């Protein structure tokens, strides 16, 4: 059964769900990657140490079926190695140096190390669905994660095995909801997003502005949160928050936290 933002899931209280505390939410994109290698334990520590409560991460499966926190399918960009994540065991991946004495970490390690943090988890490949579900169940983290995937089949496969978990719309679902919102078809928007709790989208896509006041209003009226990526500019942050956006996914969580604090004064 779908759980709306802020409502209970399982035996935990409502204030222990992914959607608490109240928005606006600052989601540190791959941790605070301006201070440490992206998607590493140090990047997460850096983000959490400045007051971030949400981490936006990506996962792939290792050769031996471990959910590994990594954005890319290969190691070229982050480690200069012509290998894919799924060609190496997790033990082998941990020996890859990413800088600042950091290496790859598993989803289980991160969920276990930061029990108070909320995680938005982007499933990057079909093979990582099972390992991700296992990591979440093993750490009893269902209430504090959100499952995201561009592919709706992949997203649904994970959600099916995690009753009550928060989830965001796939690209196709959002595209249809966006079109319905532009046509002022509110009942259709509500129908299209009935099985998700949030949409996580760019401000623009291929030159088209995705996030407008009317689109935000339509989505929020349909009962879903709106999170926008990847927003690093202070002026853009203010503009989006003025529209009523619920979350900013950002490389500069330090700036975003300051913006939110200033707006509350």
Active site residues: 29, 71
Q: Which two tokens stand for residue 22?
A: 């109240």
For residues 158 and 136, the answer to whether their CB atoms sit within 8 Å is: no
Other beta carbons within 10 angstroms of residue 99's beta carbon come to 13
Query: Structure tokens of 43?
Result: 């990047």
Residue 204 has phi, psi (to 5 degrees) of -135, 155
Residue 239: C-alpha distances to residues 3, 139, 218 (Å): 29, 37, 18
Three-state SS for 34?
coil
Under 8 Å CB-to-CB from 248, ≥6 apart: which residues?
Answer: 24, 25, 26, 27, 227, 228, 231, 237, 240, 241, 256
Measured distance CA(48)–CA(32) in Å, rounded: 9
CA pair distance 27, 252, nearest whole angstrom: 10
- Separation in Å, CA 140 to CA 87, 108, 135: 29, 10, 9
Cα(21)–Cα(188) distance, rounded to whole angstroms? 29
């Amino acid at each position: 059964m779908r759980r709306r933002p802020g409502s209970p899931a399982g035996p935990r209280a409502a204030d222990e769900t992914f959607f608490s505390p109240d928005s606006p939410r600052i989601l540190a994109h791959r941790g605070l990657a301006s201070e440490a290698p992206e998607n590493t334990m140090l990047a997460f520590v850096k983000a959490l140490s400045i007051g971030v409560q949400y981490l936006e991460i990506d996962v792939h499966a290792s050769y031996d079926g471990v959910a590994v926190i990594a954005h890319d399918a290969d190691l070229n960009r982050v480690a200069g190695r012509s290998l894919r994540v799924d060609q190496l065991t997790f033990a082998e991946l941990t020996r890859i140096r990413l800088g600042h004495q950091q290496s790859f970490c598993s989803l289980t390690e991160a969920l276990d190390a930061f029990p108070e943090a909320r995680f938005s988890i982007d499933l990057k490949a079909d093979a990582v669905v099972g390992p991700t579900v296992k990591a979440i169940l093993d750490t009893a983290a269902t209430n504090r994660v959100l499952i995201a995937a561009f592919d709706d089949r992949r997203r649904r496969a994970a959600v099916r095995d995690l009753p009550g978990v928060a989830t965001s719309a796939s690209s196709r679902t959002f595209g249809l909801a966006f079109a319905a919102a532009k046509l002022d078809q509110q009942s259709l928007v509500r129908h299209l997003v009935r099985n998700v709790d949030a949409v996580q989208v760019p401000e623009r896509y291929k030159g088209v502005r995705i996030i407008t006041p009317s689109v935000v209003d339509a989505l929020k009226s349909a009962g879903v949160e709106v999170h926008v990526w990847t927003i690093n500019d202070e002026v853009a942050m203010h503009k989006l928050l003025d529209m009523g956006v619920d979350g900013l996914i950002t490389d500069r969580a330090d700036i975003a936290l300051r913006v939110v604090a200033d707006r509350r004064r």
